[in-house]
Amino acid sequence: MNKTETLLVDFVIPKLILLLLVVYFVLSLSYIAPKAQFGGEPLDTENSETAIRDTFDHEEIAVSTTAVGFLASKINPTVADKPASSTRAAKAHCFVGTDAIRYLTSGTNPTSTLGILVAVNTSFTIFGYDDISSFRAIRVTADSALDCQYSRRP
């Protein structure tokens, strides 16, 4: 073997193999780590849809001129021998019927011109008990209804 072949076998080829392994590892990390739809940040698996599967209740909420929220008994039910943190809602999924609504999860009451606008015949999802318990909705022009179902971590 001449010096060029020895250099290739002893140095260049092992370095290329190592480089390929590093590239493969980096690419596999970006594939394995879930990404948020818009920001590119890893999803919070505590609040992600895949981590919350146990649907346990639902309600229909009339939405009119006064801001309303979810019923406390629906989003934080009492279950014997279980702590509240394991029985309360971690996800609320709602369908808007009849007319558009506006909502806020900051604890502030929305108005017909302030808040996140949700069109009629569409749905939205709220994750996390703090946001769910602070949720308030109001109609935009005419009375509406929300059909909501609540889920918790299994």
5-57 residue pLDDT tens: 676 567 667 777 777 777 776 666 554 444 444 444 444 555 555 567 789 99
CATH code of domain 49-152: 2.60.120.1030
Query: Which pLDDT score is estimated for 8?
Result: 57
Query: Which pLDDT score is estimated for 21?
Result: 74
Query: Which pLDDT score is estimated for 43?
Result: 46
Point out which residues pair with 95 in neighbouring strands.
123, 147
Strand ranges of the sheet holding 136-139, from the earlier edge strand across to the other edge: 116-118, 101-104, 136-139
DSSP string, 70-127: --HHHHS---TTS-HHHHS-SEEEEEEESS-EEEESSSSPP-SSSSEEE-TT-EEEEE
Domain ranges of the chain: 49-152
76-109 residue pLDDT tens: 998 888 888 889 999 999 999 999 999 999 999 9
Which carries the bigger pLDDT value, residue 79 or residue 137? 137
